[in-house]
Structure 1
C-alpha cells in the first residue's frame, strides 16, 4: 500500500479589517472582499499573512505621524514585519477618505485606484521600493503588468 502525498500549495492568509461599520459599508459598495483577496494574491507570490485595514482620516493621520513623522493622512502605509524567500507577514493600511479624494481628483474609478494601491502595498510588503528612480521604474512596471492582468489600465498614464 502506498501513501498518497498531496503537494502543498503556497498558503497566503489575507485578513480584512475595517475601522468602522461605515468604512466597511463604503468599501463593500465598491468591491467585494473576495475580489480584494484576488488582487492581493495576484500581487503576492509568498506564503504568510497580509492584513489589509481600511481606516478613516483620523486613524490614517495618527499612524502616518507615529511611523513616518508626517502629520497628515496618506493613501497607503505598508508595515512589513517578516520577509524571507518564501514567507511574509505585513499590515497594509488604506485611508479610505484619501483614496476617495485622490480617485476623484485623478478622474479614476475608486475601484481601479484601490486595486492599484493594493497591488502597490503588496509589492512594498515584498521588499519593492520607489525611493530611487531605477527601483521606481521597476516597481511601476510590475504594478502595470499585474493590473493589466486584472483588467485595469495603466495607473500612471
Structure 2
C-alpha cells in the first residue's frame, strides 16, 4: 500500500469526544488497519476515507432517506466507488467513501454487549470501511462469514475480542 491515504475525521456530536477522548485517533488507526488487512492495492492516486461521528438524529435521517429505514442505526457506509456519476478528476484523490456512526446507538449497543465503547467503535469502523471496499453481508452468507473473519483478525491485532464469538454479544 504505497498510495497516500487521507482519513478525514469529523466529529459532529461532542458526546463522542466526551465518552471517547481518543476517538479521532481510534478511527484513523482502524481505517488504515482495515485498508492494509483487506489487501487494497492502493499504488495509484491518493485515496480518502471520511469518518463522521455524529448523533442518532443525523444517522436516522440518512438511514431513512438513503435506505428507506425509518430508524437510527449504529453505522452507515456510503461507498464513493459505487457512484457511477461521480466526476473523475485526474490527479485528485479517489474518495473511497464515508463511514458515519451514531453515538447513542453505538453507546447503547456497547453497554448491552458488555463492551467498551472504544472496542465497539473500533469494530464498527472496521465493518464500515470493509463496506467501502465492496464487502457485503446482506446477500451472500459465505461472504458475510468471510467478512466477519476478516473483522475478527483485524480487531485481534489490537487486542479486541472477536465480536462474533460466542459470548461476545451481537455483531453489528
Shorter-chain TM range is 0.7 to 0.9
Task: Give 1:26's match in structure 2, choosing from 18, 28, 48.
Answer: 18
Query: 1:49·1:89 contact (CA, 8 Å) conserved in 2?
Result: yes
Query: 2:81·2:96 contact (CA, 8 Å) conserved in 1?
Result: yes
How many correspondences in the alignment? Answer: 145
Structure 1: state its 5+ residue gaps.
1-7
TM-score (normalizing by structure 2): 0.78
TM-score (normalizing by structure 1): 0.85
- Pick the structure with more strand per residue: 1
2:78 paired with 1:79: yes
| Matching residue of 1:42 | 33
Matches within 5 A, 1:100-115: 100-115=107-122
Structure 2: state its 5+ residue gaps.
83-93, 166-172
Helix, strand or coil at the partner of 2:162:
coil
Q: Cα RMSD (Å) of the superposition?
A: 1.8
Query: 2:110·2:117 contact (CA, 8 Å) conserved in 1?
Result: yes
Q: Which has the larger radius of gyration?
A: 1
Matches within 5 A, 1:124-143: 124-131=131-138, 132-143=140-151
